[in-house]
Amino acid sequence: MNFIFSFLLMISFSVQASMIHIGYEDQNFNKAKLVQNIFEKKYNIPKSLIKVFKQQKCQPRDPRFLFICINKKGELLQLSNINLNQIRKSLKVFKN
């Protein structure tokens, strides 16, 4: 029973690490959707694993997720780097 629980726990961490959060400030919604389309079409990442939302200031919400933000100047910033290697490994599953 402990083995099953620990196995399911590892799977859930892996799935959470494959989430991509794309935040944007001000009027940069179109740029955020463009970044989302690149992840979907070029890397074959399912739409359900990508979340696009507006923020007042570019700040990562959760270190488990790959967090990308488009600031007021239109610059693309990657803010989460704590678990970057784990995030890359889990996202490679979708790469052809």
Q: What is the pLDDT of residue 11?
A: 47
DSSP 56: S
Q: pLDDT tier at 62 (50, 70, 90 boundaries)?
A: confident
Q: Distance between terminal CA atoms of the chain?
A: 35
Q: pLDDT tier at 83 (50, 70, 90 boundaries)?
A: low
- Delimit the domains of the chain by residue range: 2-94
Return the structure tokens found at 40. Answer: 């979907």
In whole angstroms, what is the distance from residue 84 CA to residue 91 CA?
10
Does residue 74 come out as left (phi exceeding 0), alpha (psi in the -120 to 50 range) or beta?
left
| Per-residue model confidence as pLDDT tens digits over 3-60 | 454 444 344 445 555 688 899 998 899 999 999 999 899 888 889 889 999 999 888 7
